[in-house]
Amino acid sequence: MASSPKTELHTLIIGAGTSGLLVAQGLKKAGLPFTIFEQETAQTYQTRPREWGMTLHWGSSHITSCLPPDIVARLPEAYADPGLSPDAVTGLPIHNGKTGELLMEMKAEKPCRVSRKKLRNLFAEGLDIQYGKELDVIRETDSGKVKVLFKDGTEVEGDVVVGCDGARSRVRDEIVGEEDAKLTTVPLTMLNFTAQFESEQALFIRSWNPLFVTSVHPDTGTMFWLSIQDVPDASRPETWTFQVLMSWVNNPLPASEDTYAGRLAFLKRRAEDWAEPWRSAGRWLRDDTKIPLDQGTYWEKAKKWDNRGGKMTLCGDAAHPMTPHRGQGLNNALQDASNFVAAVVEAASGARTLEEAVDAYDGEVLERGTLEMNISLKQTMFIHNWETLMQSPMVKMGMHQAKKEEAKEEKEKGKEKEESEDTKAGADEVAT
């Protein structure tokens, strides 16, 4: 990165999630001006009731390019278990939920689980975040700048706006229009929450794998995931927090069961059909456990967007929201942040115009993000069907970063499937 840029391009970062914070750190490291805004207040940003983990693997290298060395050295503070070496686990074990048989290990590059909250707090160190700033509109100015107006009546001008504001991005709405920015809902139901257990129970669950373990039940096509979320005291297992996730497709809960109590009862009932440790984990959930319900979404309409001469773009989940079953969201967001910083540095140094640099950034993000959204969607649909489980991307690819040749292969397979279906339809028509 250039240390003495020729042009002091001012970047307006919308969203203080993982990608927005990493962009801010990267620009700070490069000596470029920026302002970062967060919709939530400083209090709600820290006290939101939901917490979950994310799998960090191939995206690790992009962290080091943006963070100062002293924060990079403290990265283990964001781990679910800071005392667990990244070399301790080589991949995600997948079991037959009915028998407990190990089906395969989903390979990954030094996978570790990080806490969403702890990672944000680490990345936020030394940054002046403007909280309580809900985006209203974005406008171009006559002077060639871009102006962001917030719902509290304040406004700010800069040279480029980057939307790091998550899957339901308001910046995406502003760039492509609300209709084209809409997400497609996947017929996926997820019960995703955290739980604590008694000491012996926690030790039992974690004895199967120190990081994570998952299973798919052949009778229902339901996935049941258990992972360590937080280890505040390694000597006191009763203080450990676990992330619990049960998901399935094409069969939403009836309205009568779609309550905290109904979801808990459903999960406990379904867990009885599982092998260990999932059966016991379900039984041991406390009666006051509150389980939210989530749906899967992705940006099916993603296509090249008008970045207004390099002045408006997207990063992270705002650019490529995806279903979670291949563990790619965080890692792609980290690469986005690193690439965006590099683009701004390049423009500031005079090597390219801002438009040229952001055009190149957008093209790469769109291609990579669309590829991964589609592969992750296939993973989600295939892993929840016992007949297609062993043909899913996780079996062929593990967690590694998707490549262009794999996109070509998936496209050709899709074309072959369409041709096969057309041939069958034609035969049926002739038969009638």
Which residues pair with residue 313 across a beta bridge?
162
Q: What is the mean pLDDT of residues 318-337?
A: 92
Q: Please report the sign of the dihedral spanned by the C-alpha atoms of residue 381, residue 383, residue 385, residue 391.
A: positive
Which helix (DSSP H) or strand (DSSP E) does residue 112 occupy? Answer: strand 112-115
Which pLDDT score, from 0 to 100, does residue 400 have? 60
In this predicted structure, what is the pLDDT of residue 431?
Answer: 42
The Cα 191–Cα 274 span in angstroms is 16
Q: How long, in residues, is the chain?
A: 432
- Give CA–CA dist 188/323, Å, rounded: 9
Cα end-to-end distance, the chain, whole Å? 67
Per-domain residue ranges of the chain: 11-78+115-184+297-383
Higher per-residue pLDDT: 394 or 198 = 198
> Considering the entire predicted model, what is its pTM?
0.90
- CB distance 159 to 33 below 8 Å: no
Task: Give the rounded distance of the alpha carbon of 173 from its chain centre.
Answer: 20
Report the CATH number of the 11-78+115-184+297-383 domain: 3.50.50.60
pLDDT in tens, 119-133: 999 999 999 999 999
Cα pseudo-dihedral 101, 105, 106, 109, rounded to 10: 160
Q: Do residues 276 and 217 make contact, with C-beta atoms less than 8 angstroms apart?
A: no
- Give per-residue pLDDT as tens, 355-404: 999 999 999 999 999 999 999 999 999 999 999 988 887 666 655 676 76
Q: Residue 248: how many CB atoms within 10 A of its CB?
A: 22
* pLDDT band, residue 88 (cuts 50/70/90): confident
